Structure 1
Amino acid sequence: MTSLDRNYWSELNGQDYVQRLAFPDDLEVLKLSIAGSYFATCCFSAVLKHIDISMGLTFAPQTLRIKFEPSEGSMMIDLSTMASLELIQNLQNAKSRECLFGLLNQTMTPMGARFLRSNVLQPSIDAEKIKKRHEAVAELTSKGDMLFAIRSALKSFVDADRVLAALVVISARQDFHFMEQSANHVLMLKKFVDSIKPIWEALTGAGSEELQMIRQLCEPTRYVNIENLIKYCINEDVSCSTKPLELRSQRAGVNSFLDVARQAYKELNDDVNAYFNELKEQFELNLDLKFEHARQYYLRFPMADLESPGTLPVSFINAYQKNKYLECQTLDLIKMNQKLKDAHSEVITLSDSTIQELIQQVRSQIHQLFKISESVATLDMLAAFAHLTTACISGDYTRPELSTDSLMIKSGRHPIRAKLMSTTSEKFIPNDVYATPQNRFHIITGANMSGKSTYIRSIALMSIMAQIGCFVPAEYASFPLSHELFARVSTDDNLEANVSTFASEMREIAFIIRNISHTSLVIIDELGRGTSTTDGLAIAIAIAETLINSKAYVWFVTHFRDLPRILADRAGVSNLHLSVDISKDYAKMTMRYKILEGYEEEKFYGLALARVIGLPPDVLDTATRVSKALHERNEAKKRNSRATAAARRTKLILNLREQLVQARASVLLGGSRNDGSPGSRSSEEGVSAEALRDWLKKLQVEFLVRLRAIEVDAEATAAQANKTGEEMSDLFEGEDGAEKLTERDFFEAGDVTLEKNG
């Protein structure tokens, strides 16, 4: 171990090192990666400082390949995803329990709550560990008596992690405060040891491997030596207390002088209580005797008992009002407090040598207690999962399966939203999820407020729940192990980084693209909304293509109607939409919150929603006429525009090229394809020149026929496109003979590109 000064462990210095040394292409992604990773950044700073000091080496700027990786054996979840999915904290109310951790946190101990929190932030990717947890939760769910006994036994546990951590640390300042704290820690240690056996007894008859291992670790023979050491130093009936007065009265040690000091301390406490009773009878007030560590004993009574503020008895001093009560002391009580303080100090001093000897002996065997503490935290988390499953009133939870390549959910529900709606008259509408290696990229469209964001968030949250060992809110669920989880759902400006909405989402997308793999799970909500429509669509298409090629499981929500149409024929792409019923006059919208196949057809959702909300009728009428005209013009343009025809010709040529390349490869390798190409024959048969010539002639004829069909289709619809353009012009004719607004003026103002002849 090489010691290094504490000030070298600096988050600010670590960020400066990253800014100066990282490759320029990696810098923005690294900034996003290390956001919130305080300890990792501090360690990075200390390591580079150690290299500088001990080796005398300094790296040149922008010469290091720096990469941020998650903890070994856990899923990678970045800070933005944690916030977007509300894993630990609700976005609207930081104190609310309406987050995933708040939903799952049915734990009974501080260790269990911390262990659960770390698992939510870093779900496991170890299939065997996850399956063992699922088996344990299933057993606890089916055995209600065992679950009740375990949760009852967990109630008595103190914060074992805190106690054990305090015992292994040796303070350089062993003053009176240190001695007092040592005594308190020993009492807490005794309570922790006394609480282990009920856990061992509650797990009697456990069948799952995880519960059996926990019971084995809690076996009394593993900590009997520590238990005997504690019994020798501390009376059997002494227990830890959270009240300062009771805690002070329960000190450890075996010493005749200590017995005398303890007896003196006890008699002084009796004297204080007797004196208090005398005061109560003398003044006929509703006096209470209170104790605080700083003031020792003091008196308190309601202000209403005084006839007037000036009628306070002369013997009451140090008086001040606190809310509706008056707190004070007397001179005799102050003297007794001083005697009590001296007696307490004597007790602590006399017992300290015995306590320190006990702590030293316990340290040599404390590793067993650390293992027990960890096993109790694991048991507490598993019992919390079982309690959530059995107590849920919003619907059944099911044990998820771990598959190798398929993500399938039947009647899945958003865990947080479903719980909130269970207390209301509304019913959460469950949805199915189906994703396979041949169906990995899902484009989701639909109206505003139709449930798109809730749908994709539920997939991510259920994946996390499955990989931490919890059951999920569904009738059936099967998940592959996701090694990375990325979520791009926020639309807020990042004030800390001084970037806009669009810049923020581009940074997050860059981070996703650089870290994505075929084992990733990605949800993206409304990409490209922060810039112009044309640029946003172009960027969305380019990013979608990259995500498709990554082979990751992706759910991509968009309002760009052209995106699902453009990518509809891509391998692995599936189009989905959330259904909405709209009346013919657009006066009523009914959200079905149900996922359906295919992309949504144009139904003027925005206009319908604006009408339901109550915009002025004249505004709505104008918007409706313009929207319909624009829609008809765009449809005509899609059918007839030169750009569309050119795109279709380009696609046809690219398909021809692909067929020729594949045919050449098949001929050279003597392939074994079955699509009619020359490579269809086996390698033993070979490919004759005559067969190759016939196939090429057939391919040529097919290509020419399709090319001619594109040209005929473009010519046939030209007249209809021109007619639509003339009708569009009439919308902008002035009613009083004013100069009419030209189409070019209108469309240029709306950032829409015009095409000649429609």
Structure 2
Amino acid sequence: RNGHTLLGVLNYTKTPGGSRRLRSNILEPLVDAETINTRLDCVQELLQDEELFFGLQAVISKFLDTEQLLSVLVQIPKQDTVKTAESKITNLIYLKHTLELVEPLKAALRSCNTQLLKAYYNSLEDTRFGIILEKITTVINDDTRYTKGCLSMRTQKCYAVKPNISEFLDIARRTYTEIVDDIAGMITQLAEKYSLPMKTSFSSARGFFIQMNADCSTLPNGQLPSEFTKITKMKNTYSFTSADLIKMNERCQESLREIYHMTYLIVCKLLNEIYEHIHCLYKLSDIVSMLDMLLSFAHACTLSDYVRPEFTDTLAIKQGWHPILEKIAMEKPVSNNTYLTEGNNFVIITGPNMSGKSTYLKQIALCQIMAQIGSYVPAEYCSFRIAEQIFTRIGMDDDIETNASTFMKEMKEITYIIQNANDKSLIIIDELGRGTSAEEGIGICYAACEYLLNLKAFTLFATHFLELCHIDALYPNVENYHFEVQHVRSSAGNKEKIAYTYTLSKGYTEEKNYGLKAAEVSSLPSSIILDAKEITNHIAKQILHRQKSTPEMMKQRAAYQLAMRLVQTARNSRLDPDSLRVYLKALKKKYEGSCPTPGKNDEQH
């Protein structure tokens, strides 16, 4: 319901079935690359062929809720009431309307090229669609169709069955027509009698009633004649009835009940003949909802510069941005790169409060979901590894219902991730261990990271604990990134403010006391902020120097990176021998540059 969701960004569906399908796909994306690429081929064709896109969209938008229609059609009513009869007649008209759209849908798909769209075209060539429609048209009038407006639809239902099928039905319909004509004639006579601009109106709740547009001053004594009752006024529009009109409405309803009952008996007989062929409609419902969803993906692409994703063993996003943020801001947000491989599968992200860490993490999860449902992705280029599950630990709220504190909720979430994650998972953790003391929080984070490092899952871990960044000295598959900020002096020159760039850079953040700077922006009293600064400086002096990477560790890390690159090249390389030779020489040069030389080490010592 809220437009600021992934469903809100992608939902340009025209049918209820398409909207439901999109929602279920977002909640449970595909994990088979071949199926995803089949969908992406369709989206690509829809984007390249405008005639196909607009032709399909025009037909799909005319379909009703086929899935719901089928479920109602096959239901056996508990008792035969007027409401049941009316509902069954309506559903048969809906079915006729749906089947009449099969040929236009086939015509729209006739020139398609992709495998899936061709398969849908072949499915629509099922002869059962024609058989059902033929059976319906032997009983139901050709011009009976679904229309908007309760009176129009009531008329369609009354005259749905062809004449001469039931003599009693024809007599009941003539009676109904006479009553409706009498009502119109009576209202015309009343208008002439009182010289007022009365007209006949209808609503499903009131039946026929009189409506009139007139200013109060034009009425005799400012009031309507006494024979009119149930008067309502909205601005200058009066709605009212009379005793005679109420009686005629009752006669009209009685006549209608007879018509519905007799039509219902004919419709039930017709439906019994149709039921053996009805299975083809489930396939039609599936085709319509899938085409609607694919059209929706293509529509979303036309509104922004999305790109087709590739599927490899690497998560690489070049200049990707947050799709929901783009919709909220009505402009393209700051874009960032992402790169995770089997050899660098763990990324630690640091940066001040409000620098963009949480938005970036959510962006990656959303892009992964978009790629795996067959949609294009907000980026200049993107490659994904199929994720079997996406685990997130984002946000911090107490859970009153389960009596869980913030910290306890964090622990339950990380426990769930540890117990269920595997090598094909995508894990996103936005801060951990904040609900307890700093030492214990760092300890929990470190231990959780070491456990997750044993998996080959792609993990992104945002934290304010800078001590955690030094884990890269022990584990070469860890990369540190941070969000850059700039320091800007105010015009008076006495205060320094943080300007957020929302840009991701390599290494961990060099910012100090950014929590205090964020507190300064808030309305916290200056005396408290000064005290906080003093206490922070005192604690900082007592903390030991951070651990530095030794030359041996740097050499091991460089060797690890080289080995992983070579494995990746052996698996995925499509380069010719000469290009491969150049690439391998560049890798060797990079490795030699990453290894510390003995002379430099001696100088450092």
* Alpha-carbon separation, structure 2, partners of 1:267 and 1:505: 73
Determine whether 1:390 maps to 2:302.
yes
Matches within 5 A, 1:398-417: 398-403=307-312, 405-417=313-325
C-alpha contact 1:200 1:218 (8 A) present in aligned 2: yes
Q: Output aligned runs, 1:125-274, within 5 Å.
A: 125-219=31-125, 221-251=127-157, 252-253=160-161, 254-274=165-185
**Counterpart position of 1:438:** 343
Structure 1 residue 450: deviation in Å? 0.8
| Amino acid paired to 2:73 | L
Distance (whole Å) between structure 2 residues aligned to residue 533 and residue 104 of structure 1: 41
Q: 1:611 to 1:343 in 2, by over 3 A?
A: same
Partner Cα distance (2:401, 2:5) in 1: 24
- In 2, Cα distance between equivalents of 1:386 and 1:169: 36
Deviation at 1:287, TM superposition (A): 4.0
Q: Deviations over 1:616-656 (max 9, x none)?
A: 5555444444433433332xx236xxxx89xx9xx99xx9x
Is the CA contact (8 Å cut-off) linking 1:157 and 1:192 kept in structure 2? yes
Q: 1:421 aligns with which of 306, 311, 329?
A: 329
Describe the superposition over 1:307-327 as per-residue Cα deviations: whole angstroms up to 9, x where unpaired.
599723111123355687553
1:220 CA displacement? 6.4
Q: Does the residue aligned with 2:536 lie in a helix, a strand or coil? A: helix
Q: Which amino acid aligns with 1:139?
A: E
* Per-residue Cα deviation, 1:494-553 (whole angstroms, up to 9, x for no partner): 122121211112112211111111111111112112222222221111212222222211
The one-letter code sitting in structure 2 at the alignment partner of 1:407 is: L
Q: Does 1:604 align with 2:513?
A: yes
Question: Secondary structure of 1:550's match?
Answer: coil
Paired position in structure 2 for 1:45:
none
Indicate the SS of the match to 1:263.
helix
**Is residue 285–residue 305 contact of structure 1 (8 Å, CA) maintained in 2?**
no
Any conservation in 2 of the 1:440–1:551 contact (CA below 8 Å)? yes
Query: 1:577/1:288 Cα in 2 relative to 1: closer, same or farther (>3 Å)?
Result: farther
Separation in 2, partners of 1:280, 1:444: 78
Q: CA deviation at 1:583?
A: 4.1
Residues 398 and 475 of structure 1 are in contact (CA less than 8 Å); yes or no, is this contact kept in structure 2? yes
CA distance in 2, matches of 1:210, 1:127: 15
Shift of 1:588: 2.1
Cα distance in 1 for partners of 2:539, 2:369 equals 44
- Describe the superposition over 1:286-343 as per-residue Cα deviations: whole angstroms up to 9, x where unpaired: 5453323343112344685365997231111233556875532111111211121121
Distance 1:177 1:562, change over 3 A: same
Superposed displacement of residue 615, structure 1:
5.2
Q: Answer whether contact 2:4 2:327 (CA < 8 A) is retained.
A: no
Query: Amino acid of the residue matched to residue 515 of structure 2?
Result: G
| Residue matched to 1:375 | 287
Tell me if the contact between 2:351 and 2:511 (Cα under 8 Å) persists in the aligned partners.
no
Q: CA deviation at 1:598?
A: 0.9
Go from structure 1 to structure 2 and tell me whether the alpha carbon gap of 1:273 and 1:595 turns closer, same or farther (over 3 Å shift).
same
- The one-letter amino acid of 1:422's match is M
Equivalent residue of 1:591, what SS? Answer: strand
Cα deviations across residues 6-28 of structure 1 (Å, max 9, x unaligned)?
xxxxxxxxxxxxxxxxxxxxxxx
Given residue 218 of structure 1, which amino acid in structure 2 is its aligned partner?
L
2:588 equivalent in structure 1: none
2:545 corresponds to which of 638, 644, 650: 638
Question: Closer, same or farther in 2 for the Cα pair 1:188/1:596, shift >3 Å?
Answer: same
Could you tell me how far 1:440 is from its partner in structure 2?
A: 0.9
Whether the 8 Å contact between 2:188 and 2:198 is mirrored in structure 1 is no
Q: Who is 1:696 aligned against?
A: none
Q: 1:335 aligns with which of 215, 236, 247?
A: 247
Query: Paired residue for 1:589?
Result: 498
Give the direction of change, closer, same or farther, for the CA distance of 1:535–1:301 in structure 2 (3 Å limit).
farther
CA distance in 2, matches of 1:133, 1:207: 13
**Distance in 1 between residues matched to 2:35 and 2:50, nearest whole Å:** 23
- Matched with 1:577 is 482
Task: Give the alignment partner of residue 296 of structure 1, picking from 203, 207, 215.
Answer: 207
In the alignment, the residues of structure 1 paired with residue 343 and residue 424 of structure 2 have an alpha-carbon distance, to the nearest angstrom, of 14
- 1:718-739 deviation per Cα after TM superposition (whole angstroms, max 9, x unaligned): xxxxxxxxxxxxxxxxxxxxxx
Over the matched positions of the two proteins, sequence identity in percent amounts to: 37
TM-score, normalised to structure 2's length?
Answer: 0.85
Contact 1:586–1:608 (8 Å) recurs in 2: no
Alignment of 1:324-723 (within 5 A): 326-392=238-304, 396-403=305-312, 405-423=313-331, 427-583=332-488, 587-613=496-522, 617-634=526-543, 637-638=544-545
Aligned length: 545
The 10-residue stretch of structure 1 (613-622 or 507-516) with the greater mean CA deviation from structure 2: 613-622
By how many angstroms is 1:130 displaced?
0.7
Q: Structure 2 matches for 1:72-151, cutoff 5 A?
A: 95-151=1-57
Q: How far apart are the structure 1 equivalents of 2:518 and 2:504?
A: 20
Question: How has the CA–CA distance of structure 1 residues 287 and 558 changed in structure 2, closer, same or farther, with 3 Å as cutoff?
Answer: farther
Q: Is 2:96–2:145's contact at 8 Å kept on the other side of the alignment?
A: yes
The residue type paired with residue 506 of structure 2 is E
Deviation at 1:271?
2.2
The answer as to whether partners of 1:197 and 1:220 remain within 8 angstroms in 2 is no
Per mean C-alpha deviation after superposition, the further-off stretch among 596-605 and 363-372 is 596-605
CA contact (8 A) 2:66 2:98 kept: yes
Q: Is the CA contact (8 Å cut-off) linking 2:482 and 2:509 kept in structure 1?
A: yes
Kindly indicate whether structure 1 or structure 2 has the higher relative contact order, using CA contacts under 8 Å at least 6 residues apart: 2
1:317 alignment partner AA: T
* CA distance, structure 2, for counterparts of residue 610 and residue 182 of structure 1: 65
User: Does the aligned pair in 1 maintain the 2:346–2:458 contact within 8 Å?
Assistant: yes
Letter in 2 for 1:421: A
Taking the aligned partners of 2:317 and 2:196, their CA distance within structure 1 comes to 68
The letter for the 2-side match of 1:318 is K
CA shift, 1:160, in A, is 0.8
Q: Is the 8 A contact 2:326 2:333 kept in 1?
A: yes
Give 1 or 2 for the bigger CA radius of gyration: 1
Residue 510 to residue 474, structure 1, CA distance change in 2 (3 Å): same
- The one-character-per-residue Cα deviations of 1:663-720 (angstroms, maximum 9, x if unpaired) are xxxxxxxxxxxxxxxxxxxxxxxxxxxxxxxxxxxxxxxxxxxxxx9xxx9xxxxxxx
Query: Displacement, 1:555?
Result: 0.8
- Distance in 2 between residues matched to 1:137 and 1:436, nearest whole Å: 28
- Tell me the amino acid that sits aligned with residue 605 of structure 1: Y
Q: Compared with structure 1, are the counterparts of its residues 336 and 612 closer, same or farther at alpha carbon in structure 2 (3 Å cutoff)?
A: same
State the Cα deviation string for residues 550-594 of structure 1 (Å, max 9, x = none). 221111111111111244431321111111112477612111111
User: 1:383-438, CA deviations, whole angstroms, 9 ceiling, x for partnerless residues?
Assistant: 1101111132xxx11110111x2111101011111222235xxx511111100011
Q: Which runs of 5+ in 1 are unaligned?
A: 1-94, 656-708, 714-758
The two structures, once aligned, show a CA RMSD in angstroms of 2.6
- Cα distance in 2 between the residues matched to 1:347 and 1:317: 29
In the TM superposition, what is the alpha-carbon distance from 1:200 to its structure 2 partner?
1.2
Alignment partner of 1:443: what SS? Answer: strand
The one-letter amino acid paired with 1:256 is: E
Preserved CA contact (<8 Å) 1:589 1:612: no
Is the partner of 2:545 in helix, strand or coil? helix
Residue in structure 2 matched with residue 278 of structure 1 by the alignment: 189
Distance 1:264 1:250 in 2: 16
**Secondary structure of 1:511's aligned partner:** helix
